[in-house]
Amino acid sequence: MLYAILGEDVPDSLEKRLSARPAHLERLNALQNKGRLFLAGPFPAIDSIDPGPAGFTGSLIVAEFDSLEAAQEWAKADPYVSAGVYAQVNVKPFKKVLPA
């Protein structure tokens, strides 16, 4: 089943994000290589693809896991969690409807 992982950044998270990003992307690439990653990306803090020093306010990952518990465990082990980028992380089951 698909699960949406919503990470909400702490204020002024950009430096922490940049330092933890390679390890964060490595885990996402591993999911992608297994065909389990549906989409992933950050929420810019301003209306711009490249927000510069304004940084980001969080991230969205939609990926396939065997269970809600497995998705939660994966999310808890994210480098952005251990680096203090995320203030909180929510994991929810996700049902893709469109595009078909």
Which residues neighbour 54 within 8 Å (Cβ) at sequence distance 6 or greater?
A: 44, 45, 46, 48
Across the chain, mean pLDDT equals 98
C-alpha to C-alpha distance for 65 and 12, rounded to whole angstroms: 31
Give residue 15's pLDDT band: very low, low, confident or very high (50, 70, 90). Answer: very high
The answer to whether the predicted template modeling score (pTM) of the entire model surpasses 0.85 is yes
Q: For residue 17, what pLDDT is reported?
A: 97
Any idea what DSSP says for residue 34? T
| pLDDT tens figures, 69-99 | 999 999 999 999 999 999 999 999 999 999 9
C-alpha to C-alpha distance for 65 and 18, rounded to whole angstroms: 27
Q: For residue 72, count CB atoms less than 10 angstroms from its CB and return exposed for 0-12, middle for 13-18, buried for 19 or more.
A: middle
Q: Is 77 helix (H, G, I), strand (E, B) or coil?
A: coil
